[in-house]
Amino acid sequence: MTDQEQIETLRKELRAHNHNYYVLDTPTISDYEFDHMLKQLQELEQNHPEFYDPTSPTLRVGGAVTKNFETMVHDHRMYSLDNSYSKEDLEDWEKRIERVLGDVEVAFTCELKYDGASISLTYENGQLARAVTRGDGTQGDNVTTNIKTIKSVPLRLKGDFPSKFDIRGEIVLPFEGFEQMNKERIANGEEPYMNPRNTASGSLKLQDSALVAQRPLDCLLYGIVGPNTGIESQWQMLDKARGWGFKVPTVAKLCKTTQEVMAFIDYWDIHRHDLPYETDGVVIKVNSLQQQDELGFTSKSPRWAMAYKFKSEQVSTVLNEITYQVGRTGAITPVANLEPVLLAGTTVKRASLHNADQIAKLDIREGDTVFVEKGGEIIPKIIKVDLAKRPVGSEAANYIDQCPECETELTRTEGDAKHYCTNYYGCPPQITGRIQHYISRKAMDIEGMGSETIELLFKEGLITNYADLYTLTKEQVVPLERMAEKSAENLVNGVAASVQIPFERVMFALGIRFVGETVAKKLAKAYKNIDALMAASEEELVAVDEIGERIARSVVEFSRNETNRETIDRLKGYGVQFSLSEEQLENQTDTLKGLTVVVSGVFETVSRDELKKLIENNGGKVGSSISSKTAYLVAGDKMGPSKRTKAEGLGVPIITEQEFLAML
**Is-contact 224 166, C-beta < 8 A?**
yes
CA distance 552 to 3: 72
Output the 3-class SS for 264-321: HHHHHHHHHHHCCCCEEEEEEEECEHHHHHHHCECCCCECCEEEEECCCCEEEEEEEE
- Count the neighbouring beta carbons within 10 Å of the beta carbon of residue 280: 21
| DSSP designation for 50 | G
Residues annotated as catalytic are 113
User: Is-contact 432 442, C-beta < 8 A?
Assistant: no
Q: What is the CA radius of gyration of the chain?
A: 28
What is the C-alpha to C-alpha distance for residues 264 and 100, in angstroms, rounded to an integer?
25
Q: Which amino acid is at 388?
A: A
List the one residue out of 320, 399, 328 whose CA is nearest residue 357: 399
Length, in residues, of the chain: 664
For 156, other C-beta atoms within 10 Å of its C-beta total 18
Q: Where does 484-607 have alpha helices with state H?
A: 485-497, 503-509, 517-527, 530-534, 538-542, 549-560, 562-573, 582-586
Region of residue 338 (left: phi > 0; alpha: psi -120 to 50; beta: else): beta
| Of 369, 346, 52, the residue nearest 194 (C-alpha) | 346
Q: Is 560 exposed, middle or buried (0-12, 13-18, 19+ CB in 10 A)?
A: exposed
Buried b (16+ CB within 10 A) or exposed e, 472-493: bebeebeebeebeeebbebbbe
